[in-house]
């Protein structure tokens, strides 16, 4: 009698193990299916997910090019206006040794707003150049950014060519870019501060 009861108990245990195995197999299968990447928006991540530990932009990568740094924030009307012009400038110099980099200052001017919250603005504005998350250190490295927008033009040698505080005149910006492309350089060479910042888009 005792042997029969122990056999029944053992059989029930086996059933429990089988049920558990099936359950975990289903969970594992669902997890795998949910993580199969078929495009940039696939996977279990929230919309616009970015791994900020892997996606960084280094100024040094653009040596040999004219670089236009634009310090801006989403809440500033002049910044929003200037961005529309910078998009046109980017298209105008497409295929040439010119790069525009937007340095967003929402995080340091809006009490630590996360860079992911800036992405909807970038998408709506259809910004066609890289945008990175600015820091206090970056601002200080460029002599302190007292006004936004502030635009800094860097020549092909990595030296600061000019600095424009406030809304820039795009025709003048284009003129200065063309001057550098034609070989003009500054007499007093001041190297642009290096940075390695999280890229948003």
Q: How much is the pTM?
A: 0.71
Q: Name the residue with higher pLDDT: 144 or 34.
A: 144
Contact in structure between 137 and 199 (CB atoms under 8 Å): no
Q: Please, what is the average pLDDT of the chain?
A: 81
Q: Where are the beta strands (DSSP E) in 55-189?
A: 56-58, 66-72, 98-104, 131-133, 150-154, 160-165
Hey, CA dihedral for 128, 134, 139, 141, is it positive or negative? Answer: negative
pLDDT in tens, 64-99: 999 999 999 999 999 999 999 999 999 999 999 999
pLDDT tens across 138-177, in order?
A: 999 998 899 999 999 999 999 999 999 999 989 999 999 9
pLDDT at position 51 is 43
Q: What is the pLDDT of residue 48?
A: 35
- Locate the domains of the chain by residue range: 1-44, 56-198
Look at 60 and 5; give whichever has higher pLDDT. Answer: 60
Query: Can you tell me the distance from the alpha carbon of 201 to that of 169, in angstroms, rounded to the nearest whole number?
Result: 26
Q: 56-198: what CATH class?
A: alpha beta
Please state, for a pLDDT cut of 90, what percent of the chain lies above it: 56
Q: Give CA torsion, residues 190, 194, 195, 200, to 10 deg.
A: 70
pLDDT > 50? residue 12: yes
Over 90: is that where the pLDDT of 50 sits? Answer: no
pLDDT at position 114: 66
User: Which residues are paired to 101 by β-bridges?
Assistant: 69
Local structure of 10: helix, strand or coil: helix
């Amino acid at each position: 009698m005792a042997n029969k009861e122990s056999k029944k108990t053992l059989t029930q245990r086996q059933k429990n193990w089988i049920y558990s195995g099936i359950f975990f197999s289903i969970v594992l299968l669902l997890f795998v299916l949910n993580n199969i990447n078929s495009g940039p928006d696939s996977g279990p991540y929230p919309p616009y997910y970015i791994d900020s530990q892997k996606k960084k932009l280094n100024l040094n990568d653009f040596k040999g090019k004219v670089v236009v740094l634009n310090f801006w924030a989403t809440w500033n009307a002049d910044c929003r206006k200037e961005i529309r012009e910078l998009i046109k400038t980017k298209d105008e110099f497409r295929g040439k040794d010119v790069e525009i980099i937007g340095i967003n200052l929402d995080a340091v001017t809006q009490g630590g707003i996360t860079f992911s919250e800036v992405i909807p603005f970038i998408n709506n504005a259809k910004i066609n150049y890289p945008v990175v998350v600015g820091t206090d250190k970056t601002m200080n490295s460029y002599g302190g950014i007292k006004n936004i927008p502030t635009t800094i033009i860097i020549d092909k040698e990595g030296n600061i060519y000019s600095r424009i505080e406030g809304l820039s005149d795009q025709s003048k910006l284009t003129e200065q870019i063309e001057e550098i492309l034609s070989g003009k350089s500054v007499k007093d060479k001041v190297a642009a501060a290096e940075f390695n910042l999280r890229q948003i888009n």
